[in-house]
Chain A
Amino acid sequence: MEYFLQQLINGLTLGAIYGLIAIGYTMVYGIIGMINFAHGEVYMIGAFISIITFIVLGLIGVTFIPLALMVVLLSAMVFTAAYGWTVERVAYGPLRGSFRLAPLISAIGMSLFLQNYVQLVQGARVKPMQPVVTGGFEFFQGGGFTVRLSYIQIIIVVLTVALMVGFTFLIQRTALGRAQRACEQDMGMAALVGVDVNRTISLTFVMGAMLAAVAGMMVTLYYGVIDFFIGFLAGVKAFTAAVLGGIGSLPGAMLGGLLIGLIEAFWSAYFSVEYKDVAVFVILVLTLIFKPTGLLGKPDIEKV
């Protein structure tokens, strides 16, 4: 029971991170109907920017941890947003209306490029970081097993919930959110009624990149090690989360992220750690075969 509870906590933390990345996939898919294969790399860049900001703050002597966290959060979001914007402008923007595989191939190219770019400018070595937030609550000491809920896990979950609330408000209530929903429904019609489609798409990528940056920061804080290759697996898992939740649906992405996080945690705990990635891939395949619309997605009607 204690063991189960611990896995539940770990799974939810992991799931929050996947969910934040998955929103980037699902938003982009909803609006332009393509898989942003480079989104995992954007998340990886967010993690790198976080670690760099942490170190720089440490060097200039900022020791007040809440302030440091805020600065890192802002810096990761702003600089990663620049990457998200550039990726869209360079690799996808010129391809709107091209044949259907073109944006996907371009995205794979972008993904390879970013991975190797980071490897070149930051080195291939694993980047470790000393834990910034330590400690936590311990409870349910039963059967020689202590359930731990660390402060960092609380920060991750609270931050994710806060972001989701803000994000839902943005989509439901603001002009930008309205423009996004309009583009999602019919891009041509939205353009006719005066929505700046290009700007809306750019901002969608920017928002996705910002959420991915937060996820990157969380991973840096949570695991304390990153390298240039983390974007690949995290990207595929977050994509699986987006598909599981129903691609195009924002609550679905979060739900899918939580489910994937939980499945991964329980699979590692009760079956085998080696095959936890296989479990996620199998879920992806099974979802696509039996319920391609996902849990909360709308059916995709193919028009001729």
Chain B
Amino acid sequence: MDLRALFKDAGLAAFVAFMLALPMVGFQTVDVSGGVGLTVVTRFGDVAISVALVFVGRLALSLLHHPSWRLPILLVSAALALGLLVVKTPYPVITWLTVLASAVIAVRAAWLVFDLSGVIDRDEGNRLGDAAAFIGRWFGPVFVLFAVIFPFLPTTSRYLLDLGILVLTYVMLGWGLNVVVGLAGLLDLGYVAFYAVGAYSYAIIARDFGLSFWACLPLAGLFAAFFGVILGFPVLRLRGDYLAIVTLGFGEIIRIVLLNWGSFSGGPNGISGVPRPSFLGMPFHPNPPEGTTSFHQFFNIDFSAEHRIVFLYYLILILALITNSFTLRIRKLPIGRAWEALREDEIACRALGINPTNTKLTAFAIGAMFAGFAGAFFATRQGFISPESFSFIESAVILAIVVLGGMGSQIGVVLAAVLLIGIPEFFRELAQFRMLAFGAAMVGIMIWRPRGLLAHREPSVRLPDAAGARR
């Protein structure tokens, strides 16, 4: 073992860390108190700690190549991670960083010590993905059942119910985007544009023509799909990475237009007073207008504001489940198979007579349609929409859900939505780190498991007796 080379390597990493941290971490720009302009405060301590962390971490990671060092490193890093979790220090950020770094090293060490590479493999024989598919198949109904009885659980508060609605909205968006990204392999960075089209078309139709939510829901989906087609038609011939940038551009165009076309969309103030949905024509209102029976009167129960929330919860649950079953079924149809084939090899598909533009266009339109439904739901739930809700960050979050969950994996999307949307709500003090963690996770997942956390690639077609032949 060449200790000198190891130290040199770690020293180099520490030097790079120093170069990165010195200007950005070492000096913080702050407003001059009581004056104009900026001044800087120094944080050289933080720079020193970051550099030391990188040095030690890099050294530990290199030492993991030598079997005799693995167990001690595992013990030390695990102890450090757990210890700092318990002990309170005055430097929360540095502590969290240390915990995270030692946890990563500990996992990596445990990986090598216990030889876990067979459990989670990069390639086929992907047991984690298989397990997810198994869970999805056998426990899917259990999850759905849980989702159905969730509002009536004694532990469910109004807050949890709202959170459930939020998570389900993202599950639905994730499933919708999964059609585009996961199945057809088209990277859409402007998905939120269709969400916006759905939301605004409901709000504007309801405002100008007085149609109800139920009449507007299909219209919103139709409009969004229509936008998907007209936006998709010129650009779908482009290669994957160009397509990503162009969809990003479209997303921004729609947002800027909504922001500036005040007479149509209300501009930055948005549209308020979007009508609430009704249940079979019965509004959720304590004093319904003349001639209508409200929900609580019909069922002869006391009025409660929670009825509407529960109703919205079921509404989005049903919408999400429709998206899911639609996707699962269309995958088995020729068009679904064409999507997946196109994702794998466009040239081969063309040689087989699949029209790539039409095939991509259907994927684009169907994905957009679900976003439109979700958008209409969003508008009716919030009662207020503005362009602010449809920024690029929103697209990035939905994409992160799809990517982290495993492109093409339906259960993965649910898991990722719960992880990325649900869990952060409980750690509000860490909210500022949320997008930072999203970004880091996207990079990490691409390096570690490029097909996503629960990537499972179920063959669309299997030869009759090939099932047994698969190892």
Interface centre among B19, B260, B347, B441 (most CB of A within 10 A): B19
Shortest C-beta distance, A53 to chain B (Å), equals 7
Check: A154 CB closer than 8 A to any chain B CB: no
Asked whether A35 and B244 contact (CB < 8 A) given A55-B39, A56-B27, A113-B443, the answer is yes
Q: Report the minimal beta-carbon distance from B424 to chain A, rounded to whole angstroms.
A: 13
Q: In the complex, what residues of B have CB within 8 A of residue A63's CB?
A: none
Interface 0/1 of B245-263, CB less than 8 Å to A: 1101110110011011000
Q: Is the CB of A125 within 8 A of B242?
A: no
Asked whether, in the complex, the Cβ of A288 is within 8 Å of the Cβ of B438, the reply is no
Are A86 and B16 within 8 A (Cβ)? yes
Which of A92-100, A142-150, A257-265 lies at the interface? A92-100
Give the nearest-CB partner of A45 in chain B: B24
A275 touches B256 (CB 8 A): yes
Knowing A109-B439, A288-B242, say if A125 contacts B31 (CB, 8 Å). Answer: yes
Q: Which residues of B contact A103 (CB under 8 A)?
A: 446
Complex contact A112–B442 (CB within 8 A): yes
| Closest A residue to B444 using CB positions | A109
| Complexed CA–CA distance, A49 and B238 (Å) | 37
> Do A55 and B245 have beta carbons less than 8 Å apart?
no
Please state if A118 and B24 are interface contacts (CB–CB under 8 Å). yes
- B: number of interface residues (CB 8 Å): 61
B23 at interface, CB cutoff 8 A = yes
Q: Find chain B residues with CB under 8 A from A274 CB.
A: 256, 259-260
B19 proximity list for chain A (CB < 8 A)? 78-79, 82
* CB 8 Å contact bits of B338-352 with A (1 = contact, 0 = none): 000000000100000
B291 CB–A CB distance under 8 Å:
no
- What is the minimal beta-carbon distance from A38 to any residue of chain B, in angstroms? 9
Task: Identify which of residues 65-113 in chain A touch chain B, using a CB-to-CB cut-off of 8 Å.
Answer: 75, 78-79, 82-83, 85-86, 90-91, 94-95, 98-106, 108-113
> Which residues from chain A contact B347 at a C-beta distance below 8 Å?
302, 304
* Residue B161 CB within 8 A of the other chain: no
Contacts A125-B31, A277-B256: A113 and B24 contacting too (C-beta < 8 A)?
Answer: no
- B396 near A108 (CB under 8 angstroms)? yes
B310 at the interface (CB under 8 A from A): no
- CB–CB A95/B256 < 8 A: no
Given contacts A55-B39, A108-B442, A113-B443, contact A127 B29 (CB under 8 A): yes
Quick check: A56 and B40 within 8 Å, CB to CB?
yes
Give the distance to chain A from B240, nearest Cβ to Cβ, in Å. Answer: 6
Question: For chain B residues 1-55, which have a beta carbon within 8 Å of chain A?
Answer: 16, 19-20, 22-25, 27-31, 36-40
Contact of A116 among B30, B38, B249, B439 (CB under 8 A): B439
Quote the shortest CB–CB distance from A294 to chain B (angstroms). 11
Hey, which chain A residues are within 8 Å of B24, CB to CB? Answer: 45, 48-49, 52, 117-118, 121-122
Q: Which residues, 118 to 145 on A, are CB-close (under 8 Å) to B?
A: 118-123, 125, 127-130
A109/B443 contact (C-beta < 8 A), A101-B240, A236-B252 known: yes
The answer to the question of A301 belonging to the interface, with a C-beta cut-off of 8 Å to chain B, is: no
**Does A155 make an interface contact (CB < 8 A)?**
no
Least CB distance, A114 to chain B, in whole angstroms: 8
Contact: B187 with A105, CB < 8 Å? yes
CB distance from A122 to the nearest CB of B (A): 6
Closest B residue by C-beta to A304: B347
**Per-position 1/0 for B384-413, Cβ under 8 A of A:** 000000001000100110010000000000
B246 in complex: contacting residue of A78, A125, A284, CB < 8 Å: A284
Residue B301, interface by CB 8 Å: no
User: A49-B24, A116-B435, A278-B253 in contact; A34/B241 too (CB < 8 A)?
Assistant: yes
B174 within 8 A of A: no
Cβ of B443: which chain A residues have Cβ within 8 Å of it?
Answer: 90-91, 106, 109-110, 113
Q: List 16 A-B contacts (CB under 8 A).
A: A48-B23, A52-B40, A55-B27, A55-B38, A91-B446, A104-B244, A105-B403, A106-B447, A112-B438, A113-B440, A117-B24, A122-B28, A282-B253, A284-B246, A285-B235, A289-B237
Q: Which residues of A contact B (CB under 8 A)?
A: 34-35, 45, 48-49, 51-53, 55-56, 59, 75, 78-79, 82-83, 85-86, 90-91, 94-95, 98-106, 108-123, 125, 127-130, 232, 236, 239, 243, 274-275, 277-278, 281-282, 284-285, 288-289, 292, 302, 304
